[in-house]
Each structure stands twice: as C-alpha cells, then as structure tokens.
A and B are shown apart, each in its own frame.
Chain A
Amino acid sequence: EVQLLESGGGLVQPGGSLRLSCAASGFVFPTYAMTWVRQAPGKGLEWVSSITGSGAHTYYIDSVKGRFTISRDNSRNTLYIQIDSLRADDTAIYYCARNERATATSPLEYWGQGSLVTVSS
C-alpha cells in the first residue's frame, strides 16, 4: 500500500524557514517523480514544485523560485522541501504527491494527508 506521510509543518514568523519532509513507503521510491502541491485556507490547489525520480531535474512555480528548494533522498525514501523567506501568502496545507511515473510530466496518483504551514507574527 502506497503511503505518504508529511511532517515538519507549524507556525513560523515571516522571513523564517521551514523544511517539510514526506516519508514514502509501499513503492519503489526512485522510480517515481514527486510533487508538492499547496492549498491556502479556503482556496484551490496550487502546484508548487516537482522533482524527477532520479532527482536530476527540479521544477518550481515562479512565485517560489529562489525561496523553495525541493530535494529527495532515495536511500531514505524521503522527499523534502526547504522553504526560506516565508511570507504570509505561503500559509497553506502542503501536500506531498507521487507522480504516475519517473518524469514530472505525469499525473498525481497518490497524495499525502498534508502538513499545515502557518506564517504569522
């Protein structure tokens, strides 16, 4: 059974940093791309970042380029996103999702339960 378990969320002050983790199990982790999607309170889904199965290629929405860094440790079956220079509009539930194949050009087959990040002073 595929399982994705996010952790690392919480309350952070504006300008602060946070690292979210997503522990994956139930599948061969390096053979799938992984993606972070966020959802601000009461709002729609927003694609944030994706990384290929090998980790060789990463992709970001323009609004987070230079502030967010996606990475993966295929030996630990874990996906990460480092979030720096946090702003109030980064407040959201951050979902980890598994792509359907090793490339990011594939749909999101499995989703974690999400980790809430709240940016507030």
Chain B
Amino acid sequence: DIQLTQSPSSLSASVGDRVTIACRASQDINSYLAWYQQKPGKVPKLLIYAASTLYSGVPSRFSGSGSVSGTDFTLTISSLQPDDVATYYCQKYNYDPPMFTFGQGTKLEIK
C-alpha cells in the first residue's frame, strides 16, 4: 500500500510568515493529491486538489505543488494568518491501489 508521510508533524510560526508543509508518497501518485484543513473542533475542508488546484472560495495565500516524480508535494501558506491555525492533511485519491489514504496530519500554531 502507498503511504503518505507529512512533515513536520507540528510547527509554530508567526503571523505573516511563509509556511510550507510537505507530503511524501511512497510511490508515484501522479497528481492525485488533495489538501484539507481541519480547525479545532470543526469539520475538515478541502483546500487544494489535483496537487495544485485551489478549491473554490479558498484564499489565494494557499497554494500547492507537486514534483514530476509524483511523490513529493507541498502546501504553502504565503502569509500566515491567525485564522490558519488548524491541522492540515494530505490525501491521495488515485486508484492504484484503491486506498484513499490520508497523511498523519500537520498541526499548525501561531507563535
């Protein structure tokens, strides 16, 4: 089975900082990767899909990218805001195999 490993597991940054969260797949998943944001006590929300496509209504300070190898992905917040405090998850949704695994999550806090 393909594993997704996020790094770091947690981070603390200041308002206005550029923040990057990584997600590494154990095998090529092409661009079948999504990012979700889950604020404390809330339901997850879709941020990015197809590795780099911003979901409707998501602020433009969020962006995603992926490598040509189809194994390395990043979520970037260009200028961290207090409202961005949350845990962020990546998820693969390619078919091979049909296991739509989440990464373990990255907890983001404000310094």
Contacts and interface: CB of A to CB of B under 8 A. Distances in A.
A47 B46 contact: no
B95 A107 contact: no
Interface in B27-82: 32, 34, 36, 38, 43-46, 49, 55
User: Of residues A62, A105, A114, which shows the largest number of chain B Cβ atoms within 10 Å of its Cβ?
Assistant: A105
Contacts of A59: 98-100
B45 A105 contact: no
Nearest to B35: A107
Contact of B91 (A47, A62, A112): A47
B38 A45 contact: yes
Interface residues of B, number: 25
Interface string A81-113: 000000000000001000010001111110111
Interface string A51-81: 0000000010110000000000000000000
A105 B105 contact: no
A45 B99 contact: no
Interface residues of A, number: 22
A118 interface: no
Interface string A17-48: 00000000000000000010100000011110
A98 B24 CA distance: 25
Contacts of A61: 99
A110 B103 CA distance: 19
Interface of B: 1, 32, 34, 36, 38, 43-46, 49, 55, 87, 89, 91, 93-95, 98-105
